[in-house]
Amino acid sequence: MRNRLLLLFFPFMAAYLIFLILPIVRILTFNSFSFLVGDASSGILASIYYTYLIALAVAVISVLLALPYSFVMARRNSVPYRIADSLVEIPIMIPSTVVGIMILITFAPQMPVGSAIARIFPGYTFQDSLFAVIITLLFVSSAYSIRIVGVSYRQEILRYEEEAMTLGISDSKSFLLLSVPMLIKPMARGIVLSWARAISAVGSLLIVAYYIFPSFTQLAGVFIYSQFLGGGLPDAAASSSILIITGIIAMAILRAMGGRNAAVY
């Protein structure tokens, strides 16, 4: 039976892998190597660097938020908490451009929340700021860290923490000394997935931060979109290839750091 199922399912697996690989191979071979080298001076490398750096900061913030969130939700199972917990997935289903509009009408200085922030921080601006980028990317990517850390905490770690408390160890000590070390791998997976999701965000950034002032920096997705509008498909494809190559290298490094048997994502 096992061999029959293997023979039955293998074509579906192979078809799916081909479906994933073909577009990647196509874009990597769309331009010549010399064209890619020339495009590297277009500013895409600096854009990728800032994109990866900002996305990493957002991913770390997401994981730091996931720890207290998971601690509370693992101990509460009433209807209000379950309803609140269901809100975590909502940003995943909202179109990216809608996210940008939502964030803008919430945090812009002329809006109620933005106006309250402006009273605390005189001179506050939102659109085309680094703060706008971080808030937007956190909104679209934090769910991945929240869910990965939360599931691991509930299914694998909470019972150890409860056993430690029966031995007289306080909840704070058991969480810090037992749970947090055991959550290192789930936190790493959460960082990788939130980081990857933050890198892929484009539509929302076109609305809240086409440029990041005062440096006029564009994140990679926005930069490539600008290239497509201004220079056409070859330039945009070349920069996309460079982004994909750097992403593959980054993922390979993360996998190597995680060890042969470690599931990084």
d(CA 1, CA 125) in angstroms, rounded, equals 64
Q: Of 4-18, 172-186, 233-247, give the range with the top mean pLDDT.
A: 233-247
Indicate the helix (H) or strand (E) that contains 159: helix 158-166
Up-side HSE of residue 33: CA atoms within 13 Å toward CB?
0
pLDDT at 90 over 80: yes
Radius of gyration for the alpha carbons in the chain, expressed in angstroms and rounded: 22
Which CATH number describes the domain made up of 31-258? 1.10.3720.10
Rounded alpha-carbon distances, angstroms, from residue 265 to 5, 112, 179: 27, 39, 20
Please list the residues that pair with 217 across neighbouring strands: 212
Average the pLDDT over 211-219 and give the result. 90
Higher per-residue confidence, 59 vs 76? 59
In sequence order, what are the residues at sequence separation of 6 or more whose Cβ sits closer than 8 angstroms to the Cβ of residue 195?
A: 52, 55, 56, 58, 59, 141
Burial class (CB in 10 A: 0-12, 13-18, 19+), 241: buried
Average the pLDDT over 46-72 and give the result. 93
Average the pLDDT over 30-42 and give the result. 88
User: Helices 96-107 and 130-152: crossing angle, nearest 10°?
Assistant: 120
Structure tokens at 231: 């220079």
Average the pLDDT over 89-117 and give the result. 93
pLDDT tens-place string over residues 235-260: 999 999 999 999 999 888 877 765 54
Q: Would you list the domain boundaries of the chain?
A: 31-258
Burial class (CB in 10 A: 0-12, 13-18, 19+), 111: middle
In sequence order, what are the residues at sequence separation of 6 or more whose Cβ sits closer than 8 angstroms to the Cβ of residue 97?
A: 203, 204, 206, 207
Average pLDDT over all residues of the chain: 88
d(CA 130, CA 57) in angstroms, rounded, equals 12
- Confidence at residue 265, expressed as pLDDT on a 0 to 100 scale: 43
User: Three-state DSSP class for 200?
Assistant: helix
